[in-house]
């Protein structure tokens, strides 16, 4: 069974540009409402590849128009994440046993908190994402994806600790204290 598409010659000049922009906007609206590219194409009487290109074009124009606002938000979010990271990082790395050279006092080693490690890794992933760095894929020697557990990362980074504990950490976001007051 063949489906018929309405075939029309593209309009030229200002009328053509206006018709093109209207089609692109309509395609984006339909996509936002959940329509598939094929359904949009069928409704608008064009190929689904053209609809994909139209939606990508409109989104690119919107991104460019909002670039300054996005950059400001990216800076603000990065600053907030850095403040939280500064508080969590010492808990995530722990402290090795140390001997004070002057007094000879030995300070006990503090193992890293896996809860803090988990939160630090998640925050770093968020920072990478807001800067567009989250699309890097790690592959093993065989070309397949690499899977590493948090415990493996902690052991590799800080040596082997026999009694690692998973600790739930209360984390307050910047501004929480203002909301409560």
Handedness of CA 115, 117, 120, 125 (dihedral sign): negative
For residue 49, the model assigns a pLDDT of 92
Let me know if residue 9 belongs to a domain. Answer: no
For residue 62, the model assigns a pLDDT of 84
pLDDT tens-digit readout, 25-50? 999 889 888 888 899 999 999 998 99
Higher pLDDT, 89 or 134: 89
- Residue keyed to tokens 């567009």: 132
Query: What is the DSSP pairing of strand 106-107 with strand 98-99?
Result: antiparallel
Verify that 56 and 88 share a domain, yes or no.
no
User: What is the helix (H) or strand (E) element at residue 107, kind and residue range?
Assistant: strand 106-107
Let me know if residue 34 belongs to a domain. Answer: yes
142 to 134, 138, 145: CA distances (angstroms): 22, 11, 9
Let me know if residue 6 belongs to a domain. Answer: no
Verify that 84 and 162 share a domain, yes or no.
yes
Q: Domain range holding 115?
A: 68-96+109-174
CB 146 within 8 A of CB 140: yes
CB 166 within 8 A of CB 115: yes
d(CA 81, CA 127): 7
Number of domains present in the structure of the chain: 2
- Please report, rounded to a whole number, the percentage of residues in the chain having pLDDT higher than 90: 15
d(CA 131, CA 75): 9
d(CA 54, CA 25): 8
Q: Is the pTM of this model over 0.85?
A: no
Higher pLDDT, 156 or 98: 98
For residue 23, the model assigns a pLDDT of 92
Verify that 43 and 77 share a domain, yes or no.
no
For residue 56, the model assigns a pLDDT of 87
Let me know if residue 101 belongs to a domain. Answer: no
Higher pLDDT, 6 or 84: 84
Asked whether the predicted pLDDT for residue 120 surpasses 70, the reply is yes
């Amino acid at each position: 069974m063949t489906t018929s598409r309405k075939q029309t010659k593209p309009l030229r000049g200002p009328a053509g540009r206006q018709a093109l922009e209207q089609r692109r906007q309509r395609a984006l609206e339909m996509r936002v409402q959940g329509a598939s590219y094929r359904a949009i194409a069928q409704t608008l009487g064009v190929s689904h590849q053209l609809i994909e290109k139209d939606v990508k074009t409109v989104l690119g124009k919107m991104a460019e128009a909002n670039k300054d606002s996005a950059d400001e938000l990216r800076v603000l979010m990065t600053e907030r994440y850095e403040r939280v990271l500064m508080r969590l990082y010492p808990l995530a790395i722990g402290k090795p046993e140390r001997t004070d050279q002057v007094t000879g006092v030995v300070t006990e080693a503090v193992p890293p908190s896996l809860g803090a490690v988990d939160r630090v890794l998640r925050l770093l992933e968020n920072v990478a994402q807001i800067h567009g760095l989250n699309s890097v894929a790690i592959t093993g020697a065989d070309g397949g994806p690499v899977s590493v557990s948090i415990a493996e990362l902690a052991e590799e980074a800080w040596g082997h600790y026999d009694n690692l504990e998973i600790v739930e950490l209360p984390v307050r976001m910047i501004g929480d204290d203002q909301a409560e007051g």
